[in-house]
C-alpha cells in the first residue's frame, strides 16, 4: 500500500503539466546557507582546517571537548563574517553574543554547538541578483532577497555509520561557519539557484569562502511551501544539505511539484525535513525526530560579548569601517561596468560574471591588447565556452594561455581569419596548446582570403563547376544564390572572407546575365 | 541519577551556607557587614510565590530523554519539584528595566587570536580519552536511537 502510494506520487509529479499549476498555486522558497569560512585554523581552537587531512588530525583538546579547555575566538573568522555581511548590505552589530545550542549527537562531543542565537553578527541585509538560465529564461531579470541574519557558528564532526555503531572523525568539529539566513522571498528553484550562484561569486571575490560545494564548504537548506494566491502561506517542508547549484534548482522544482500533487489529490503537507537524492531526482523524508527538538539555548558563559568598532574608534576587536574600505568590486558592479564601459549585453555580462575564469581572461586582455570587447565576449561565450561544454571539459582545467585566446580574437579582428577558422583554432588549442594561433594559421595556410581578385576567381570557378545551379539562377530562381555561397565556403576550405563574397558574387552573376 | 545528585548537592550547600552564616560573623570585622550576625527570617513573601510546579509523567519522560538520566521515580520528581520551588523565589526580585547579566566580563571586549595553526596533530592524546576506538576513529553507538519507552515509569527505586 505504502509503495503504491509512493508510485502514485511520482506518477502524478511526472505527469502534472507545468503550465496548469502555475496559475493556481504560488510557491514560496527561503534559503539558509552554511558557508565555511576560509581560514587556517578553527573558529575557537588553533587546530588546522585543511580538507582531506588524516582522520582526527585536525583536532585540538578543545575540539574533543576535553574538560578544562576554553574557546578562543579566531579574529580572521570575525573579519570574514563582517566582510560578508557588508557585501550583503547587512547592518553589522556593534555587540553580538554567542550561545550554546544543545543537541545530543556523537559527532558533537561537547553536547552543544556554539552559535549566535540572541544577537547575531549582522542583520537585515539585501542581495540583488540576476536570474538567467539559458534555455529556461529568455532574458535576465533582477530579483531581490532580504537577509534576516548572519551568524558565526561551529560545524560538527563527521560520523560514518556502520550497522551497529558510528565511526567519528572530529576534523570538521569546530570548523568556522557563517550561517546566512534569507527571508522566504523567492518563487522557484531557478531563482534559488541564481541566488546561490551570485552568493558564490560574492564569497569567492571576498575570499571568505571557497564555495567548493563538493567539499561541503557551502551547504544549502531550502524551505518550500505552496499556497493559493490571496491565501496565507502553506505548511513548509525543509530540504536539508543540498550539495550543488543545479541540485538546488532540481530539488526545489521537484518539491514544489510534489506538494502540488499532494494537495491536488486532497492530501496534506506535513512539516518535515526531507533530503534530495541527486541520482533518482526526488526528495524523500528523512528519518525524523519524533518530537520537536528542544535546543535549550543558553548564553555561552565562556565568551564575553563580541565588540566591533564602527566609526573612528579602536574599541572592539576590529574596525568595521576599515574593512568596508577593503571590499573588492562586487559582481553587480562588474556587470554594470561590463554593460556601461564595454557595451556588452545583459546576458553577456551575467554569463561572464558567473564564469569567473572567462571574466579573468576578459579583464586581462581587452584593455591591454586593445581588443574589440564585444567580439572578445562573443568568442569567449559563444565559441570558447560552448566548445568546452561540447568537449565535456571543465573551464578550470583549461591550460590555453590567455595570450593565445587574445591573439585568436586579434586575428579575427584584423580579418586575417574568419569566425569558422577561429573556432577551428580554439579546438586545435584545446587539444594541444603548444603553437600560437598565428603559427597554426601560418603552418596550415588558414589565412582568410581577403584579396578581391582572388575571391572573384573563386566565385568564377565555382560558377563554372556548377552549370545547373547557374541555369536555375539565370531562370529567375534567385534563392540558389545561397547554394553558391555554400559552395564557395567549401571550395575555399572555409577561408574566403564571407563578408566580401556576396557582393563580389552578385557582380560576377550580373555580368553573366548580360 | 545525576539529576538527583545535583539536587541533593544544592540542598546540602544551602544547609552548609546557613551554618556558615551562624558561625562565622565573629571573625568578620568590617563595618559593611554583608552577612548578618544572626540568622534572619526570609523576606520572601510566600503568598506571592507561584503555585508549586507539578511534574507530570510526560515531562519527566521528556527530561529523561534529554538527559539520558534515570530520574523518573517519585523521589526524583520530589527533588525536581523542590528545586523548582526553591528557584521560584528569585521571581520576587525586582528586575524592572534591568538588562540581564550574562557574564561579569560583559563590559570588556572579547579577546581574539590570530589565525594560526598551533594545535591539533595530537591524535594519541585525543583518542586516549575514548573508551572504544578503531583505526584512528572514535567508536560511538549508532546514530540517534530513539529511547525505548519505559514501562515502569515513575517506578520506586528499590535502593531508596
CB nearest B110 (choices: A58, A299, A304):
A304
- Strand boundaries in B63-158, DSSP class E: 112-113, 133-134, 137-140
Q: Which residue has the higher pLDDT, A127 or B6?
A: A127
What pLDDT digit, counting tens, does each position of A210-241 carry?
999 989 999 999 999 999 988 889 999 999 98
Q: Which residue has the higher pLDDT, A485 or B148?
A: A485
CB nearest B137 (choices: A60, A168, A299):
A168
Closest-CA residue of chain B to A174: B120
Q: Counting one residue from A and one from B, how many pairs have CB atoms under 8 Å apart? A: 148
User: Would you state the cell numbers that stand for residue A340, as one nine-digit string?
Assistant: 556601461
CA A20 vs CA A15, A95, A122, A261, A281: distances in Å: 11, 50, 41, 12, 22
What pLDDT digit, counting tens, does each position of B81-95 carry?
999 999 998 888 888
Grouping H, G, I as helix, E, B as strand and the rest as coil, residue A115 is strand
β-pair partners for B138: A168, B133
Q: Of all residues in chain A, what percent carry a pLDDT higher than 70? A: 94
Rounded to a whole number, what is the distance in Å from the CA of A107 to chain B's nearest CA? 9
Closest-CA residue of chain B to A72: B112
- Strand boundaries in A347-408, DSSP class E: none
**Could you tell me if A80 and A40 are in contact, meaning their C-beta atoms sit under 8 angstroms apart?**
no
CA A481 vs CA A22, A348, A440, A510: distances in Å: 47, 34, 32, 12
**Could you tell me if A199 and A84 are in contact, meaning their C-beta atoms sit under 8 angstroms apart?**
no
Grouping H, G, I as helix, E, B as strand and the rest as coil, residue A312 is coil
CA A25 vs CA A266, A268, A462, B22: distances in Å: 14, 15, 61, 74
β-pair partners for A48: A41
Closest CA to A500 of A439, A386, A388, A415: A415
Tell if the CB–CB gap between A46 and B117 is shorter than 8 Å.
Answer: yes
Tell if the CB–CB gap between B142 and A164 is shorter than 8 Å.
Answer: yes
Here the ipTM equals 0.74
Whether residue A382 has pLDDT greater than 90: no
Query: How many of the other CB atoms lie within 10 Å of CB of A437?
Result: 27
Residues in chain B within 8 Å Cβ distance of A111: none
Residues in chain B within 8 Å Cβ distance of A78: 112
Indicate if the alpha-carbon torsion angle B63, B69, B74, B78 is positive or negative.
Answer: negative
- Whether chain A has a CB inside 8 Å of the CB on B99: the answer is no
User: Would you state the cell numbers that stand for residue B2, as one nine-digit string?
Assistant: 545525576
What pLDDT digit, counting tens, does each position of A322-356 carry?
999 999 999 999 999 999 998 888 888 988 898 88
| C-alpha triplet A343, A131, A186: angle, nearest 5° | 150
Whether residue B159 has pLDDT greater than 70: no
Amino acid at each position: 500500500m505504502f509503495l503504491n502510494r509512493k508510485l502514485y506520487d511520482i506518477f502524478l509529479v511526472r505527469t502534472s503539466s507545468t503550465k496548469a499549476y502555475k496559475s493556481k498555486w504560488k510557491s514560496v522558497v527561503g534559503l539558509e546557507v552554511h558557508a565555511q569560512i576560509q581560514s587556517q585554523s578553527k573558529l575557537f581552537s588553533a587546530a588546522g582546517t585543511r580538507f582531506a587531512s588524516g582522520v582526527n588530525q585536525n583536532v585540538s583538546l578543545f575540539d574533543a571537548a576535553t574538560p578544562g579547555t576554553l574557546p578562543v575566538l579566531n579574529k580572521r573568522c570575525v573579519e570574514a563574517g563582517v566582510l560578508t555581511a557588508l557585501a550583503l548590505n547587512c547592518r553589522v552589530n556593534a555587540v553580538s553574543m554567542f550561545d550554546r545550542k544543545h543537541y545530543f549527537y556523537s559527532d558533537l562531543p561537547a553536547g552543544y554547538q556554539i552559535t549566535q542565537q540572541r544577537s547575531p553578527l549582522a542583520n537585515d541585509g539585501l542581495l540583488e541578483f540576476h536570474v538567467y538560465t539559458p534555455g529556461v529564461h529568455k532574458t535576465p531579470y533582477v530579483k531581490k532577497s532580504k537577509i534576516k541574519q548572519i551568524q558565526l557558528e561551529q560545524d560538527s564532526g563527521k560520523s560514518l555509520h556502520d550497522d551497529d555503531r558510528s565511526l567519528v572523525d572530529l576534523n570538521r568539529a569546530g570548523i568556522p561557519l557563517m550561517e546566512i539566513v534569507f527571508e522566504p522571498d523567492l518563487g522557484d528553484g531557478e531563482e534559488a539557484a541564481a541566488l546561490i550562484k551570485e552568493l558564490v561569486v560574492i564569497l569567492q571575490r571576498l575570499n571568505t569562502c571557497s564555495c567548493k560545494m563538493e567539499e561541503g564548504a557551502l551547504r544549502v537548506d531550502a524551505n518550500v511551501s505552496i499556497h493559493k494566491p490571496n491565501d496565507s502561506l502553506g505548511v513548509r517542508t525543509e530540504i536539508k544539505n543540498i550539495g550543488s547549484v543545479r541540485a538546488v534548482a532540481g530539488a526545489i522544482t521537484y518539491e514544489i511539484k510534489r506538494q502540488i500533487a499532494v494537495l491536488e489529490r486532497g492530501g496534506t503537507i506535513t512539516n518535515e525535513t526531507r533530503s534530495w537524492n541527486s541520482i533518482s531526482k526526488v526528495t524523500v523524508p528523512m528519518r525524523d525526530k519524533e518530537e520537536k527538538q528542544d535546543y535549550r539555548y543558553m548564553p555561552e558563559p565562556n565568551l564575553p560579548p563580541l565588540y566591533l568598532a564602527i566609526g573612528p574608534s579602536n574599541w572592539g576587536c576590529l574596525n568595521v569601517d576599515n574593512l568596508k574600505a577593503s571590499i573588492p568590486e562586487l559582481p553587480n558592479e562588474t556587470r554594470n561596468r561590463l554593460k556601461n564601459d564595454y557595451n556588452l549585453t545583459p546576458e553577456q555580462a551575467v554569463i561572464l560574471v558567473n564564469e569567473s575564469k572567462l571574466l579573468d581572461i576578459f579583464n586581462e586582455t581587452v584593455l591591454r591588447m586593445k581588443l574589440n570587447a564585444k567580439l572578445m565576449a562573443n568568442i569567449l561565450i559563444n565559441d570558447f565556452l560552448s566548445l568546452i561544454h561540447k568537449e565535456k571539459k571543465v573551464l578550470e582545467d583549461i591550460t590555453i594561455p590567455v595570450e593565445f585566446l587574445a591573439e585568436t580574437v586579434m586575428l579575427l579582428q584584423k580579418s586575417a581569419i574568419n569566425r569558422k577558422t577561429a573556432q577551428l583554432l580554439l579546438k586545435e588549442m584545446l587539444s594541444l596548446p603548444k603553437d600560437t594561433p598565428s603559427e597554426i594559421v601560418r603552418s596550415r595556410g588558414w589565412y582568410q582570403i581577403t584579396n578581391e581578385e582572388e575571391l572573384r576567381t573563386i566565385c568564377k570557378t565555382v560558377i563554372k563547376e556548377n552549370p545547373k545551379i547557374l541555369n536555375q539562377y539565370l531562370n529567375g530562381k534567385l534563392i540558389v544564390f545561397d547554394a553558391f555561397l555554400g559552395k564557395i565556403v567549401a571550395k575555399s576550405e572555409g577561408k574566403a572572407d564571407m563578408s566580401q563574397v556576396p557582393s563580389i558574387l552578385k557582380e560576377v552573376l550580373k555580368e553573366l546575365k548580360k | 541519577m545525576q539529576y538527583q545528585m545535583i539536587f541533593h548537592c544544592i540542598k546540602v550547600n544551602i544547609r552548609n551556607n546557613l551554618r556558615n552564616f551562624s558561625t562565622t560573623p565573629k571573625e568578620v570585622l568590617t563595618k559593611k557587614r554583608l552577612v548578618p550576625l544572626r540568622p534572619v527570617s526570609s523576606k520572601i513573601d510566600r503568598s506571592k510565590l507561584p503555585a508549586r510546579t507539578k511534574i507530570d509523567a510526560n515531562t519527566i519522560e521528556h527530561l529523561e530523554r534529554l538527559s539520558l538520566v534515570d530520574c523518573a521515580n517519585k523521589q526524583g520528581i520530589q527533588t525536581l519539584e523542590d528545586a523548582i520551588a526553591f528557584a521560584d523565589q528569585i521571581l520576587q526580585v525586582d528586575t524592572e528595566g534591568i538588562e540581564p547579566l550574562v557574564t561579569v566580563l560583559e563590559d570588556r571586549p572579547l579577546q581574539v587570536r590570530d589565525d594560526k595553526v598551533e594545535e591539533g596533530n595530537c591524535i594519541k592524546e585525543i583518542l586516549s580519552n575514548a573508551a572504544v576506538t578503531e583505526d584512528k576513529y572514535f567508536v560511538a553507538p549508532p546514530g540517534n536511537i530513539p529511547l525505548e519507552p519505559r514501562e515502569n515509569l515513575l517506578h520506586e527505586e528499590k535502593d531508596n
